[in-house]
Amino acid sequence: MSNDAEDPDLKEAIRLSLMESTSSATTPKSTNTNNDQIVVIDDSDDDDDDQKKRKPSNKTNTKEQSATPAAAVASTTSSSAAAEKPSAASSSILGLDRRGMERERLERLKRSAPLSSSSEGRPSKSQRSSGNTMGATAGSSSSNLFNTELPSRPISIPAIGSRNGPIFPNGIVKKTYIPGQARDPNPILEPTITIDEVLQKDSLEVAVLSSFQWHLDWLLPKLNVGNTYLVLVMQGKTEEDRKEKEEFFRQLPRTKVCFPPMPGQVSCMHSKLQLLFHNTHTRVAIPTANLVNFDWGEGGIMENMVFLIDLPVLRVGEEYVETQFSRELVAFCRAKGLPEGIFNKLKRTNFARTKNLAFVHSIGGSHMGTAARTTGYPLLANAVKEMGWSVGPGAELDFVTSSVGSLTREFLTNIYKACMGNDGLREKLGPTHIENDSEDEGVNQNVNWDDIADKFRLYFPTRNYVASSNGGLENGGTICARREWWNKPTFPKECVRECRSTRQGMLMHNKCIFWRPKVPFANTTGERWDAWAYVGSGNSSESAWGKLVMDRSTKQPKLNVRNWECGVVIPVKEKDRRLVERNGPSDMSVFQEHRFLYDLPNTNIKPVYIPVPMVYPSEVNNNPWFFGGFGG
């Protein structure tokens, strides 16, 4: 393992990063305590029209992204404290405390601890801003980016066997590792994973990293900066924001910043996709976590999930074979504007083992006519249809979310129908206007909320659960819902359930869907499946999945998408299929008992599972945790 302290490229990058401004001005404090100057600290990916209407006209009103859950809540406790902002003289594009940053890095270099051990700790209520975190929020400029870090406490992470090479050739879903937990030495059987184990930095040649939030002081030491070619996909709504970030990252060798287009209504680059290219394999990772320390379990407060698959490099003579997964992955990366070299590497990747997986995404913007089928929840529907997983009504749907948008029963009905394989365009245009429209009347059957209200469960924590969690109320800042949305008569309160982690005291930042049809379904090759799960970045909001409307001028359907998102759909089957057909949906245990695409003959390996992160079944949630800049 290379020593960062001896890496001249990294030392030079850090030196440039730590160069202080020539001005020695101190941070001024605003004396304006006007209560209308609300600083909205919101990890929510939702950008509801009502929120825009509420925004005060005062130009000093800003929207910032917190570095930690604790800081997010603390920043809303007083308008005077919220008005404080680092001056340009004492902070960079990232809002960094230069002196504190230099001290931290020098101390870390002196310690020379192996990077398999992480600095972790639980944030205290009296945290101070001293780390380096980039937060990306709708409309934020670089001057609004500020920083807070978790206090350091060395934690020894037990080894779980080899971390190099293609460990997960058939794909797997892991929970993020929490400090202090015992671990299985077999990396396939071990249910958790660290960010270091995901990255495999020692053999990492090229990395495409995407995130809504960034904690660079935590992340960069986990990479061989200067040796690994980095493409960082981040938010850049304004030209000023993009230029400032490009200027900063120009200091890092072999690093390029990519800004997905964010025209008009598009407000959030929320995708967390990672493409990790090694000499022997390409790892595709789809986390629910941002690239910040607390999302990856440090501090023992927040948990997430990540899907990983290690795909081999094509051998000489082998041809590239397209799957639904590879096609939509490439389409999504094209839309984001990744460098051409990334597509050359993807073309040299063998995607054969993704034949039973579906890649789904939301591309920010307006998509007109039949193009509305190519992203958002209509893409989910058409992926289900293409893979042969379409079913009629009667399925059970469990949706775990960390952010609740301004929901309506109509929107949740559209999500349910998409899971069936119905994209909704048939209702908008009529069957004669849709090419390759499904003949399956069950799939196209008109379903309304009354038909599915008792089959749709949305999991979100109660205020009491957040209060009793490891981090308490002050660390619930990235779990978002708004009281004013909840109180609308159109909000489907009847389907909301309390979200409690199976790991006691943990808050969840997961975004996953568990879909259990009434009867088994067969794919295009005749293989039978019992259920499927979605894992990705998409929360329960129209911003994440899109809103299908009729365009007034063209009279064509139009899908409006505010966020960039992506995820994977994974089919599962019963561990022991009975000779007698079942009479209803599988139990939730179907996700934890099946062999997750693994066929390991002549071994005693136990089944590998998709973790179901929440306690199930769960009680109705009548007292949800409210946070989003307007109260706790």
pLDDT, tens digit, 9 for 90 and up, residues 507-526:
999 999 999 998 888 776 77
pLDDT given for residue 444 in this prediction: 64
Check which CATH number belongs to the domain holding 195 and give it: 3.30.870.10
CA distances from 175 to 83, 280, 410 (A): 37, 25, 32
Residue 149 lies in a domain: no
> Are the C-beta atoms of 146 and 135 separated by less than 8 Å?
yes
Q: Are strands 192-193 and 172-176 parallel, antiparallel or unpaired?
A: parallel
**Of 64-68, 190-194, 400-404, 530-534, which gets the smallest average pLDDT?**
64-68
Angle at which helices 376-386 and 409-420 cross, to 10°: 20
Residues 329 and 409 in one domain: no
Residue 366 lies in a domain: no
Which token pair is 88? 């340009």
pLDDT given for residue 65 in this prediction: 41
The SS3 of residue 76 is coil
433 catalytic? Reply is no
Percentage, residues of the chain above pLDDT 70: 67
Model confidence pLDDT, tens digit, residues 48-58:
444 444 443 33
Residues 175 and 135 in one domain: no
pLDDT at 203 over 60: yes
User: pLDDT class for 238, splitting at 50, 70, 90?
Assistant: very high
> Are the C-beta atoms of 586 and 574 separated by less than 8 Å?
yes
Which token pair is 316? 């000489």
Residues 405 and 436 in one domain: yes
Q: Which domain holds residue 548?
A: 373-593
Instruction: Give pTM, 2 decimals.
Output: 0.79
| List 270, 281, 361, 367, catalytic entry | 270
Residue 248 lies in a domain: yes
Residue 610 lies in a domain: no
511 is in an annotated binding site: yes
> Are the C-beta atoms of 386 and 571 separated by less than 8 Å?
no
pLDDT given for residue 46 in this prediction: 58
Residues 139 and 165 in one domain: no
| Dihedral Cα 165, 171, 176, 181, nearest 10 deg | -70
> 519 has which bridge partners?
none
Check which CATH number belongs to the domain holding 439 and give it: 3.30.870
Percentage, residues of the chain above pLDDT 90: 58
Report how many domains make up the chain.
Answer: 3
Model confidence pLDDT, tens digit, residues 380-412:
999 999 999 999 889 999 999 999 999 999 999
Residues 62 and 163 in one domain: no
Model confidence pLDDT, tens digit, residues 315-355:
999 999 999 999 999 999 999 999 999 999 999 999 999 99
> Are the C-beta atoms of 343 and 275 separated by less than 8 Å?
no
pLDDT given for residue 21 in this prediction: 33
Residues 221 and 97 in one domain: no
278 catalytic? Reply is no
Length of the chain: 632
> Are the C-beta atoms of 69 and 150 separated by less than 8 Å?
no
Cis amide prior to 339 (ω within 30 degrees): no
- Which among 442, 426, 401, 441 has a CA at the least distance from the CA of 614? 401
Residues 211 and 283 in one domain: yes
> CA 380 to CA 573: how far, in whole Å?
20
- Which among 567, 529, 556 has a CA at the least distance from the CA of 360? 567
CA distances from 66 to 27, 144, 395, 450, 604 (A): 18, 10, 38, 39, 46
> CA 222 to CA 543: how far, in whole Å?
32
Residue 131 lies in a domain: yes
Residues 337 and 394 in one domain: no
Residue 433 backbone phi and psi in degrees, to 5: -100, 0
Residues 140 and 189 in one domain: no
Residue 408 lies in a domain: yes
Residues 292 and 180 in one domain: yes
User: pLDDT class for 187, splitting at 50, 70, 90?
Assistant: confident
555 is in an annotated binding site: no
H or E segment to which residue 173 belongs: strand 172-176
pLDDT at 472 over 90: yes
Residue 617 lies in a domain: no
Residue 401 lies in a domain: yes
Half-sphere exposure of 337 (CA within 13 A, CB side): 15
Q: What is the C-alpha R_g of the chain?
A: 24
- Which among 398, 570, 606, 605 has a CA at the least distance from the CA of 495? 398
Phi-psi region of 282 (alpha: psi -120 to 50; beta: other; left: phi over 0): beta
User: pLDDT class for 428, splitting at 50, 70, 90?
Assistant: confident
pLDDT at 42 over 90: no
Residue 33 DSSP symbol: -
Residue 242 backbone phi and psi in degrees, to 5: -65, -45
Residues 333 and 379 in one domain: no
- Which among 573, 576, 614 has a CA at the least distance from the CA of 590? 573
Q: What are the residue ranges of helices labelled H in 205-293?
A: 216-219, 239-249
Examine the fold and report which residue of 302, 331, 346 is the final residue of a domain before the chain moves on.
Answer: 346
Residues 168 and 234 in one domain: yes
- Which among 25, 139, 20, 130 has a CA at the least distance from the CA of 87? 25
| List 215, 278, 281, 509, catalytic entry | 509
pLDDT at 81 over 90: no
User: pLDDT class for 165, splitting at 50, 70, 90?
Assistant: confident
